[in-house]
């Protein structure tokens, strides 16, 4: 069966000719648009978390360097405890040490209580674990987005290619001008997912 040349010409004329990424997005099916919009939103969330984590870790690094410098200038814990405006990590550690000493009941000139060092180590380990949990906050979302985005983009591609095949069957022609825009839209969804 020969396709009607007039119908084929009309189908080609009805195709979107704007093959820029924005033009292909605007001409895409609603499902493909939703996939690409979701992927762009996920990308925005990823970048926000990335810049937030970089700033947070940089601030923690600066505070740690100031704490190490403060410890290097003082001969003992008592001198550190008297210093005003200690970096937050160091102040938290000194607070935990002071609380453990107070609970143990050690005063000036008293003999060290048995097991004090181990209890202080345990408190500092808990403090370190809590800081690590705070630093890792948000990374689970990054891992989820990173592992699912390519598959979501692939779903958009499959949907777009199905629509391209529907367009081919409706126009009853395999002219490249009929096939190319639909496949280009579908591949745009894959590119968005990969990016």
For 131-180, strand residue ranges (E) read: none
To the question of pTM greater than 0.75 for the whole model, the response is no
Q: Does residue 27 or residue 57 have the better pLDDT?
A: 57
Q: Does residue 12 or residue 97 have the better pLDDT?
A: 97
Q: Does residue 56 or residue 14 have the better pLDDT?
A: 56
CA distance 124 to 142: 29
CA distance 9 to 51: 51
Q: Return the domain boundaries, the chain.
A: 5-194
Segment 68-91, tens digit of pLDDT: 777 777 777 666 667 677 777 777
C-alpha distances out from residue 168 to 94, 121, 125, 172, 175, Å: 73, 71, 65, 6, 8
CA distance 184 to 25: 10
Segment 104-149, tens digit of pLDDT: 766 555 556 667 778 888 888 888 888 888 888 888 888 888 888 8
| pLDDT reported for residue 121 | 84
Segment 9-45, tens digit of pLDDT: 555 455 546 667 777 777 777 887 888 888 889 889 9
CA distance 25 to 191: 12
Quick one: pLDDT band at residue 48, thresholds 50, 70, 90?
Answer: very high
Biggest CA–CA distance in the chain, Å, is 106
């Amino acid at each position: 069966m020969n396709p009607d040349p007039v119908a084929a010409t009309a189908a080609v004329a009805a195709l979107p000719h704007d093959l820029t990424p924005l033009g292909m997005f605007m001409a895409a099916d609603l499902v493909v648009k939703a996939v690409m919009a979701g992927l762009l939103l996920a990308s925005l969330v990823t970048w926000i978390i990335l810049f937030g984590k970089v700033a947070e870790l940089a601030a923690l690094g600066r505070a740690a360097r100031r704490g190490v410098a403060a410890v290097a200038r003082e001969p003992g814990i008592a001198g550190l405890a008297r210093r005003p405006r200690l970096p937050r990590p160091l102040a938290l550690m000194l607070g935990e040490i002071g609380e453990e000493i107070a609970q143990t009941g050690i005063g000036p000139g008293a003999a060290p209580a048995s097991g004090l060092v181990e209890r202080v180590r345990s408190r500092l380990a808990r403090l370190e674990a809590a800081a690590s949990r705070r630093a890792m906050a948000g990374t689970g979302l990054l891992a989820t987005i990173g592992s699912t985005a390519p598959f979501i983009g692939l779903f958009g591609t499959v949907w777009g290619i199905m629509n391209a095949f529907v367009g081919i069957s409706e126009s009853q022609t395999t002219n490249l001008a009929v096939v190319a825009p639909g496949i280009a839209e579908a591949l745009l969804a894959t590119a968005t997912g990969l990016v």
